[in-house]
Amino acid sequence: MDDEVSERLRIDPAFALHRGGKMEIAATVPVRDRDDLSLAYTPGVAKVCTAIAEQPELADEFTWTSNVVAVVTDGTAVLGLGDIGPRASMPVMEGKAILFKQFGGVDAVPITLDTTDPDEIVDTVVRIAPSFGGINLEDISAPRCFEIENRLKDLLDIPVFHDDQHGTAVVTLAALRNAARLTNRSLGELRAVISGAGAAGVAIARILVEAGIGDVAVTDRKGVVHDGRTDLTDVKRELASFTNKGGLTGTLDEALDGADVFIGVSGGTVAEDAVASMAKGCMIFAMANPDPEIHPDVAHKYAAVVATGRSDFPNQINNVLAFPGIFAGALHVRASRITEGMKIAAAEALAAVVADELSADLVIPSPFDPRVAPAVREAVAAAARAEGVARR
């Protein structure tokens, strides 16, 4: 094993960076002498414990829970790697925790669960929830992710957020708002087609409808999701109930004919003929990684605005633009949950960051733009207060 580790360290710098993990726990108070020890631990700590036992809400003030998030996965849908299990998913969860801290100032703890059973996942998260101010579900495969999130929202009074769904949706809406502005259109004028009816596709469709999109149709491997199909899961049946006002029933290629927007969260390749059939001045958000459904070289032949999920092309749809600020805002006001209104507020704030700088290559800010997280944080906190889910 030592020889194998040495060889990996020699040939690939990624292994050197990850050696020993990418995180550590750091104290926020000194323990330099007996007086410090007596305050940080016994006997001083007993006073705080007793007070919290009498008034449990004091834990938000006198422990770290009000600013710490659990990043929870079962390792079944990790990045583009698929079902690689809990141990192999830990480097990604550590990375997610680093992003929470770097971009939102929020502490996060990666937790990988050795089960894929929804009941066991829900039960485990409920039992550990008193240690955290929020739960970020990560890389859990559909359709179980929908059930797990919904059940946890019902059982817990802290924010529960499946980032693969809602983070993607928030950033997509923000970019689409700016793309519409750039082309002198409103969301209400646009007809969108989403390729992919998994976690991200469903959440994107929902937030676009909430935000007032003209129409949106979602496709899976069998074509457009519509209420005339008899093979739909419960999730897709619900999806059919609020999308596809135009009554489309064909394939993805057929749905793209005359469409204003393509949003890809599925992988695969869209034929160039189908791309060419889209409306003039269309918008193409091909977000599969590492291979977009429509390569930018093809997309730019037909589209006014092109976005991908990759960092080496302009307009990257990157979840890190959303989740750190969303949780920072929710935790700041001790919100009991994250609502659709809070997500839309986050998208509007994110879009506004670059609203005065728009170009075809800039409809969404860079994750390194220092304006992003504060803008999202403030918008989410304000929306939480307006919707009555803030507790301070």
DSSP conformation class of 241: H
Phi-psi region of 195 (alpha: psi -120 to 50; beta: other; left: phi over 0): beta
CA angle 36, 42, 43 (to 5 degrees): 95
Alpha-carbon gap, residue 275 to 257, rounded angstroms: 8
What residues contact 286, with CB distance under 8 A and at least 6 apart? Answer: 262, 264, 270, 292, 293, 294, 295, 296, 299, 306, 307, 308
Return the structure tokens found at 389: 């889910």
The answer to whether 138 is a known ligand-binding residue is: yes
Alpha-carbon gap, residue 193 to 191, rounded angstroms: 7
**Residue given tokens 């994250």 in the structure block:** 338
Report the largest interatomic distance among the alpha carbons of the chain, rounded to a whole angstrom: 75
The answer to whether 231 is a known ligand-binding residue is: no
Please compute, for residue 385, the number of CA atoms within 13 A of its CA located in the half-sphere on the CB side.
9
The answer to whether 289 is a known ligand-binding residue is: yes
The gap between the terminal CA atoms of the chain, to the nearest Å, is: 52
C-beta neighbour count of 181 within 10 angstroms: 15
Active site residues: 41, 96
The answer to whether 318 is a known ligand-binding residue is: yes
Annotated binding site for a divalent metal cation: 138-139, 164
Annotated binding site for (S)-malate: 289, 318
Q: Which residues does the annotation place in the binding site?
A: 138-139, 164, 289, 318
